[in-house]
């Protein structure tokens, strides 16, 4: 009997621990070079496990060299997990739209090609509806002075990019590209979304 009670207690404590764990959801965005995108979303409260990779193409297991040709159909994206009790999908979308130019489909700054397209890969019908609602609203209000052309596509196979692309800004913050291109985005993030940033 004692053993049965102990087993029950252990089982309940395990189940209780699982119930306490936050239910994480997944989001995938492409907004130009994934080094920039990763750096921005890694800073947000409630966001974890941000990985750079490739999505939306027709070639299995593409390499960075494959992607750079612009012929595989993939976009450079980041896939992340987020805790909806700390940050909502709506808030992630707000950061997404304000930290890049969603009016240029296949170009962000000097980066040109379909691999740099503005894209949201949705993981649920709710994400799709939310993204479409905000895109329509931005266009109705002419928020950017030009139409928002961000693609909203169903999530496909996500291929993790090579190791040297992961945590790129954290590891290479002093590199010329990081200082010239990523740092201004980080400053803008700090200015617009200070309350949402990890400290």
Active site residues: 33
Q: Evaluate whether 147 touches 182 at the Cβ level (below 8 Å).
A: no
Give me the residues paired with residue 48 across strands.
Answer: 81
By C-alpha distance, which of 82, 77, 70 is closest to 113? 70
Dist CA 77 CA 114 (whole Å): 12
Dist CA 175 CA 169 (whole Å): 9
3-state secondary structure 50-68: EEEEEECCCCCCCCHHHHH
φ/ψ (deg, to 5) at 81: -110, 145
By C-alpha distance, which of 82, 78, 51 is closest to 196? 82
């Amino acid at each position: 009997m004692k053993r049965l009670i102990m087993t029950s207690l252990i089982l309940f404590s395990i189940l209780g621990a699982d119930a306490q764990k936050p239910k994480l959801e997944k989001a995938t965005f492409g907004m130009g070079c994934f080094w920039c995108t990763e750096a921005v979303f890694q800073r947000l409260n409630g966001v974890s496990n941000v990985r750079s990779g490739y999505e939306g193409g027709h070639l299995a297991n593409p390499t960075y060299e494959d992607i750079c040709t612009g012929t595989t159909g993939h976009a450079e994206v980041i896939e992340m997990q987020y805790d909806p009790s700390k940050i909502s999908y709506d808030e992630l979308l707000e950061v997404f739209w304000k930290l890049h130019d969603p009016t240029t489909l296949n170009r962000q700054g000097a980066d040109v090609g379909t691999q740099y397209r503005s894209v949201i890969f949705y993981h649920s019908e709710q994400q799709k509806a939310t993204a479409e609602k905000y895109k329509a609203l931005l266009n109705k209000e002419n928020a950017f002075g030009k139409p928002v052309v961000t693609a909203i596509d169903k999530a496909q196979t996500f291929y993790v990019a090579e190791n040297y692309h992961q945590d790129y800004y954290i590891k290479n913050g002093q590199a010329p590209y990081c200082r010239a291109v990523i740092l201004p985005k980080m400053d803008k993030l700090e200015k617009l979304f200070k309350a949402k940033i990890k400290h």
